[in-house]
Structure 1
Amino acid sequence: MAVIAISLSTTPTQAQDIGQGPAAEGEAAPQDQIVVIGSRRQDRTVADSTVPVDVIGGAALTQSGYTDTARVLNQLVPSFNFPQPSITDGTDALRPATLRGLSPDQTLVLVNGKRRHTSALLNINGSVGRGSAAVDLNTIPTIAIERIEVLRDGASSQYGSDAIAGVINIQLRKSAGMHASATWGKYVTTMDGVANYGGVVTGANGQPALDANAGAGGVYQLAPGGKRKRRDGESLTLATNIGLPVGDAGYLNFTAQYQDKDPTNRSGADPRQQYTSVGGLADPRELTVNRFNHRYGDPGTTDYNFFLNGGYELSPDVEFYAFGSYGIRDAESAGFFRRPNDARNRDFSASATSFVPYYPEGFLPLIVSTIEDVSAAGGFKGNVDGWNYDASLAYGHNSFHFFVEDSFNVSYGSEASQQRFDAGKLSFGQTTANLDLQKSFDVGFTDLSVAFGGEYRNENFRIQAGDPQSYLGGPYAGPPFNGAAGAQVFPGFRPSNEVDASRDSFAGYLELEGDFANILTLQLAGRYEHFSDFGDTVNGKAAARLEPVDGIALRGSISTGFRAPSLHQQYYATTSTNNVNGTLVEIGTFPVSDPVAIALGSQPLDPEKSLNLSGGVTFSLIHGLSITADYYNIKIKDRIVVTENLQGAQVVSLLQGAGFNNITSARFFVNGIDTRTQGVEVVGTYRVPDMGFGRLSLTAGYNYNKTKITDYAELTSLPGLTLFGRQESLRLTRGQPRDKINVGLDWDYDIVGLTARANRYGKVLAPGADAARDQELGRQWIADLELRIKPTQQLELAVGANNIFDSYPDTVYAGLQNGQNYGLNGYFIPYSAFSPAGFNGRFLYGRVSVNF
């Protein structure tokens, strides 16, 4: 696992420093800065490595109103994207990030060079990253981070599974001292394209006027009421980092962070009829009801995160190190509002013949989740007879516990239904042991670095059932009532969904690297890995860097890679009971080993396989200026995706033939598609020479990325049936920006500092039910500004704005437009979940920091 870290420690390597602010007085120029663990250098540098590496300093991570690591990375790294969807169940509370437009689980995350465990949550709803389980970067406080290294190249031969898009390595602080900050902010914004409403338009008889452009009945005309302003999402973050020396040869660094965030709401007014008509006339409450009944935006969250990082030099050749973390997040997100007249709001126990609502004014069901995350790692590193060694053991565990509140189970009625449900729990654990060895040999024509080692990893995935009412059908589930079974908004996991699955893997690798004539660097790497569930995989990499002229270099690599199917993808299961024409049937997501999936033709999942090609140029001829440009081409075979809801006569026939007479729809994971992703990344940094007006650093980055599906799989048992449909295909190929631009400016003069950043997100496509109803979201600029002042050496005050110009994505269509019927959701869900920068608007903040 530590191949690259060891290589860097023995062969001076330069990387690109991203957005760390202007250089301190006396610091080396970018081309002279060496990438070493614990460094906090500023600006970007021209990389001496054979592949592109970006380095983001801890200061850059804290110079923002956002205190979420993933959201700050989205501002700084051109090929990094952090979509922020809403009304996507658990994904609201634990949002995945992507690198180079690939899946969230195709980027490997390390902490201090050790593999970080993924989350227990499988993103199964309609968001970018559907079907993946990813690392929760936001469990790592920004104040705990010394720097982040982003390796933008395939690295499976060095690190193993998941490193297809690249590697994100988070280095924790070691330094002594005390850093503390308090950041407070809130959204102060005017929603673009969404108006308040001045009431329901009425006709001559006082009845609500229907909207002829809605394309459906029961939709009222709403009078405009000016611009809709929002003041919400109040956020408080208290963070401290304390570093202490341990004797003369050790360090102990502790971080604690508390975050409390109120939810945001960017919904529009709901024009639909809310109440059951009385005698053919609208209920009078239609004229007075609050039509901002949905909640669409960020969830409310409360987080506690703690990190510990320590080490001690037992002798000149032996160092003991350990680090670990604990975090807990309570989150509250909303589902779709159930109107008073909604069938899902019917109280059968009050009347079996006429409609009586359970909640007279309707209800907004809430998913209330508790996410717990823990990790611990330790080991010894040092030198024996010229060999650098690192032996480590790491454990990580994440759990996601679902609760449902302000809801009910229609099939039980008001006489017996709960309003709060325990909907079950997901858990994932990972244990990793590593031994890494490296030594440099003088072989005459080169200083050859030889690195090899091994890894053992064990993983476990569990599903625990919720309480019975969260999934069962009660007395009103069957005919003639046909009430919906299970908790509204998120039916619980059932005993039949429970699983406790484990696997292990063993790996060995070898890496050779040498410099030739001071102009050429060559690297070769290979890795063998055996998994207990699918068998063996062998991967290799060759990379080179040629610098014929000092300051101008060419670099490139070719590698194969893989990603093992996650236990989540192999064993995740959730089912629900639906009433279809008076018959209760089961639909849901089934593991590939489930008899239902087998009856439809499922097969054990194979690993995804990749072929990565990259090539680029670096330029650092001018003092203080660094420019790199890289092309990449990533072919992935057998990508793992979740199928469409498979249904129809073919499906029913196969299921009934296998003895399943009460199932009409099913989905499961398959090696469903092959893809090709191509792109270009350009990164530039200029440290302006000191001309008496302070220290100034300019940065810019550009990423162009295009993914194409080159092949689709078919089930021989269901020939011609679409496994991965049009909308899901477009989500994968067009659901993220085709291009992205980052620009930044950092300036310090005496006691004053300024940071200005801007990101331009390219177009994305929000797929509709057919091509005529697709909607392209236009390009969007987001600008951030922060002003700092240091009245004393220890105290810093900052004010700023994220999205200072209050930019919003395009609104989505609703009703009849352009000759198409776009449905009604766009009235009250005005922005697309595909919006790459979110849709919350301007965030204003202030921060107080102390440093000793």
Structure 2
Amino acid sequence: MQHRFVPEKTILALSIAAVFAGGPALALAQDAAGAATVVVTGTRVANRTALDTASPVDIISADTLKTTGSTELNQALSVALPSLNFPRPALTDGTDTIRPATLRGMAPDQSLVLVNSKRRHASSLVNLNGSIGRGSAAVDLNTIPSAIVKNIEVLRDGAAAQYGSDAISGVVNVRLRTDRSGGEGTITYGAHVTEYDLLNAAPPAGATWAGPNSRKRTDGQTTTVSAWKGLPLGESGFITIAAEYKNQEHTERSGYDMRQQYAKVNGAYDPRELTINRFDAWYGDPEMQQKTVFVNAGDNITPDVKVYGWSSYQLRDARSAGYFRPPQDSRNVQSIYPDGFLPIIAPTVEDFSAAGGVSWSIGEWDMDTSLVYGQNGMNYDIKNTLNASIGPTSKTTFDAGGYSYNQLVYNLTGVRKFDVGGLASPLNVAVGTEARREGYALHAGEPDSWRNGGVILPSGVPAASGAQVFPGFRPANASNKSRTAIGVFVDVEANVTDKLLASAAVREEHYNDFGSNLSGKLSGRYDFTKNFALRGAVQNGFRAPSLQQQSFTSTSTNFINGVPYEITTFTPTDPVAVALGAKPLKAEKSTNYSFGAVMRFAPVSLTIDAYRINVRDRIVLSENLTSVAVRNYIVSQGFTGIGGGRFFINGVDTNTKGVDIVASMPWNAGAAGHFDFTLAGNFNRTEVTKVPTTAQLAALNPAPVLFGHVNVLTMEQGQPKSKITASANWKLAQWGVTARATRYGKVLSPNTPPVPDFELAAQTVVDLEARYALTRQMTLAFGADNLFDRYSETLPPALNTTSNTPFSNYTPFGNNGRFVYARASYSF
């Protein structure tokens, strides 16, 4: 049953009206600790609190992250922060295993992730399939166990002048625990207990099988065991260790496959049509086993010298699926799979990081220097599959190769205060430099994973090459590239008067592969009273093209009218891509504007921040260019056997406008307990104002589209235009309850014309958790995420012709339904 909601503009208008009426408006809490919480993100001034900054900063506490059934950091953040979205696509190859998050409706790689204010390395995966974030390589926050997290600061403002590349939409700063004693162990177990509707296609003429109208499932059983422990290091130092083990079964939300599976026998349907399992796909979360350890340490060598460092390691083994290959499929060998087969993609992800640094004082200067290394590798095993071109002797498991990314960052920063006449506070000056070296390598799979074995099908057409669902990388795809970047910055901040805070930052960076960039930021805040302030900022920013976008390449063989053609994801500098109009990638450029208000009506605190982000020359992955006109043009340029492909290109301009409303209200109800009420909303619109073209492709007849309908609408309407979260935390003696409702605005699931686009209506998802402290150390919790088992609209058969995907990958809260869980925690 669908619910009716107040229109988004009405909600926004009522919220603003409540603010200026001075009434007790409720909005999202930035932290349970309230306004006294000190932030380090977006400012280099010591002791700046969350409600005293010139730019909006949300603080998500460790306790807040724990009040969900999911132990994934990305998922926990997405329910705590309306401006952050974490879609959960399926049947998208490696993206099933490393799913990217987005901030303010921008691309996943347009927000910067820090750990203890130091740049975190990105994943090696480039998202290539049709999902949010196509073409991006983002940081995988799920490599950080929640047990090591003290809190997370999210700067909802551009910050390229302060932190460098990627900080177009904002900054996520994970601050690690620094405990010398104590600890906690936690066991969480949960499963999806759900029922979903089906819209089945009509069976073939004369067929007697029919599918059900709904389906009940209990799956996705997940066990997570985690612990952290604080240990003393000397008289003043600490070592905090966290470890986590996660075992997750897959979820399966397939439809009932009405297709004919077997050849007819004497003109009649094969009896096996009535006995074969027609729920033949894995559409949902992957199977996963994950082991993580994280260590954070620090010590004061002298009163003026501190050393610090951290290290992490994670091993993730996953299994997800592709589309089911029916028994009669030309890509099947029936002597191997007489009932068809479901190919399995089984990546292994290995992630490592290590950091070390020293902070000290020289005269009036507070100095800090650090060296941070991180690497992420992903290798693909393809299972339960075959290479049809080899025939009955084909293997069923293949090593398809993989890729890795590494990053080494050196920082040196100095901060001091200068007494400047006429200012209400000392002038805080920060200067520094950052040098970065990045590497990206791609290695080939075994020959059988990509080669063509020469089998000819009965139709006379050669069989498809390579391992079904994921042909391996070829030796010609292998590469090992690196680059360096060095930047310098100056950041100043001061109270010009008792009421006016102003700050400015400028940063120049030089990359050895595409040149230099200069970024600047001006921000200010004026406190009219202790309870009301206005703040704003203007800045330009940039995002450097990633090495993954510059260097990733893959090739598959397609047979067109019996002729083999190589279809390739080309690097932008490949001669074929250059012939089609590709150019070396350059940086994306942005201009950011923000204006907001901070209000405190004790005990209510509330912020409203409007923003506009204009991005020029966004880097995107082109359409698949495989038309006859493209093939003929490639031949005319002297290339043979090339059937087309795709490549990364600059050229998309976008305009994003939005408003964030964030506030909180604690309430001590005496004998009834203590409440923390929170409410927040993000209202966001993106418009694509320019798409890329090349003169070479424009001259063809017909001219192929370089960046088309689906990709444009994915940017504009593929994420919710609004997201509103309301929650209440209650505590009384040993009891505690968290109730949360999240309303996701409507989303468009675009399709290639003439197939119509499909609109997903707004949905509200409710989460509920109850806790009881058996002792001062032992706490039990029981809860349900998506308590009322909400799904987006079921796709009609015309949009789900295989039955493998009954729901859209654009659903912002995933397609798994209700998750019921229990958690036991013991502190020591």
TM over 0.5: yes
Q: 1:61 aligns with which of 38, 45, 65?
A: 65
Deviation larger for 445-454 or 503-512: 445-454
Amino acid at match of 1:384: I
Give the secondary-structure state (helix, strand or coil) at the position aligned to 1:736.
coil
Please say if 1:460 is aligned against 2:439: yes
1:244 to 1:190, Cα distance in 2 relative to 1, 3 A: same
Match of 2:398 among 418, 421, 439: 421
What amino acid does structure 2 have at the position aligned with 1:122? Answer: V
Deviations 1:310-352 (A, max 9, x none): 0010001100001010001000001001111111113xxxxxx
Return the offset for 1:357. Answer: 4.9
**What residue number does 2:163 align with?**
159
1:343 aligns with 2:319: no
* Mapping for residues 593-632 of structure 1, pairs under 5 Å: 593-620=573-600, 622-632=601-611
Q: How does 1:42-441 map to 2 (within 5 A)?
A: 47-175=51-179, 176-191=181-196, 193-194=197-198, 220=207, 222-225=209-212, 227-346=214-333, 356-415=334-393, 417-441=394-418
Question: Is the CA contact (8 Å cut-off) linking 2:407 and 2:439 kept in structure 1?
Answer: yes
Say whether 1:694 aligns with 2:673: yes
Q: Distance in 2 between matches of 1:307 and 1:130?
A: 30
1:445 aligns with 2:445: no
- Closer/same/farther in 2, CA of residues 164 and 418 from structure 1, 3 Å limit: same
What is the alpha-carbon distance in structure 2 between the residues aligned to residue 742 and residue 451 of structure 1?
Answer: 37
User: 2:723 aligned to 734, 737, 740, which one?
Assistant: 740
Q: Distance in 2 between matches of 1:633 and 1:787?
A: 40
Q: How does 1:801-812 map to 2 (within 5 A)?
A: 801-812=784-795
The 8 Å contact of residues 309 and 322 in structure 1, kept in 2 or not, is answered as yes
Deviations 1:676-700 (A, max 9, x none): 0000100110011443322110001
- Decide whether the 8 Å contact of 1:244 with 1:253 is kept in 2: yes
Q: CA deviation at 1:713?
A: 2.0
Asked if 1 retains the 8 angstrom alpha-carbon contact of 2:225 and 2:245, the reply is yes
Counterparts in 2 of 1:662 and 1:218: CA distance versus 1, 3 Å: farther
Equivalent-residue separation in structure 1 for 2:498 and 2:198 (angstroms):
61
Distance in 1 of aligned mates of 2:406 and 2:437:
8
Aligned-pair distance for 1:663? 1.3
Return the offset for 1:113.
Answer: 0.6
Query: How far apart, CA to CA, are the structure 2 residues paired with 1:17 and 1:388?
Result: 37
Shift of residue 227 of structure 1?
3.4
- Superposed counterparts of 1:772-787, under 5 Å: 773-787=756-770
Equivalent in the alignment of 2:823 = 847
Compared CA separation, residues 252 and 534, structure 1 to 2 (3 A): same
Q: SS of the residue aligned with 1:598?
A: helix
Q: Quick check: 1:552 aligned with 2:552?
A: no
Q: Aligned ranges for residues 581-730 of structure 1 at < 5 Å?
A: 581-620=561-600, 622-719=601-698, 720-730=703-713
8 A contact 2:665–2:677 mirrored in 1: yes
- Residue 399 to residue 594, structure 1, CA distance change in 2 (3 Å): same
The letter of the residue matching 1:398 is N
CA contact (8 A) 2:210 2:258 kept: no
Assess, with a 3 A threshold, how the Cα gap between structure 1 residues 477 and 644 changes in structure 2: closer, same or farther: farther
Does the 8 A contact of 2:32 with 2:61 survive in 1?
no
Q: Distance in 2 between matches of 1:173 and 1:823?
A: 47
Distance 1:118 1:613 in 2: 27
Aligned residue for 1:792?
Answer: 775
How far, CA to CA, are the matches of 1:377 and 1:137 in structure 2? 17
Q: Which moved more, 1:770-779 or 1:831-840?
A: 770-779
Q: Which residue of 2 aligns with 1:567?
A: 547
Partner amino acid for 2:138? A
Secondary structure of 1:411's aligned partner: coil
- State the 1:277 CA deviation: 1.5
| Counterpart pick for 2:503 among 523, 526, 530 | 523
CA contact (8 A) 2:413 2:431 kept: yes
The offset of 1:21, in angstroms, is 7.8
Match of 1:34 in 2: 38
Quickly say closer, same or farther: Cα 1:46–1:108, change in 2 above 3 A.
closer
- Which sits farther off after the overlay, 690-699 or 629-638? 690-699
TM-score (norm 2): 0.93
How well do the aligned residues superpose, as a CA RMSD in angstroms?
1.9
CA distance in 1 between partners of 2:308 and 2:571 (Å)? 40
Equivalent in the alignment of 2:714? 731
Shift of 1:477: 5.8
Letter paired with 2:249: D
8 Å CA contact retained: 1:22, 1:696:
no
Q: 1:150 to 1:76 in 2, by over 3 A?
A: same
Inter-partner Cα distance in structure 2 for 1:830 and 1:139: 30
- Assess if the C-alpha contact under 8 Å between 1:19 and 1:57 holds in 2: no
Q: Which runs of 5+ in 2 are unaligned?
A: 1-25, 42-47
Residue 839 and residue 19 in structure 1: after superposition, are their counterparts in 2 closer, same or farther (change >3 A)?
farther
Call closer, same or farther: CA 1:219–1:576 in 2, change over 3 Å: farther
Residues 222, 46 of structure 1: alpha-carbon distance in 2 compared, 3 angstrom cutoff: farther
- Distance in 1 between residues matched to 2:103 and 2:739, nearest whole Å: 23
Structure 1 unaligned runs (5+)? 1-15, 24-29, 38-43, 198-210, 347-355, 816-821
The 1-side partners of 2:790 and 2:482 are apart by 46
What CA distance in whole angstroms lies between the structure 2 residues aligned with 1:772 and 1:828? Answer: 18
> C-alpha separation between the residues in 1 aligned to 2:526 and 2:230?
41
- Name the CA distance, whole Å, in 1 between partners of 2:377 and 2:169: 26
CA contact (8 A) 1:404 1:490 kept: yes
Cα distance in 1, alignment partners of residues 30 and 822 from structure 2: 20
- The one-character-per-residue Cα deviations of 1:257-283 (angstroms, maximum 9, x if unpaired) are 000000000111100001111222211
Question: How far did residue 142 of structure 1 move?
Answer: 0.8
- In structure 2, how many angstroms separate the alpha carbons of the residues matched to 1:718 and 1:589? 17
Paired residues of 1:19 and 1:60 also in contact (CA < 8 A): no
Instruction: Indicate if the aligned counterparts of 2:31 and 2:59 stay in contact, CA closer than 8 A.
Output: no
**Of the candidates 749, 758, 771, which is equivalent to residue 766 of structure 1?**
749
* TM superposition score normalised by structure 1: 0.90
Distance in 2 (CA, whole Å) between partners of 1:34 and 1:260 is 36
Give the length in aligned residue pairs: 789
- 1:578 is matched with which residue: 554, 558, 561? 558
Deviation at 1:480? Answer: 3.6
Aligned-residue offset at 1:515 = 0.7
C-alpha displacement of 1:183: 0.3
Residues 31 and 58, structure 2, Cα contact 8 Å, conserved in 1: no
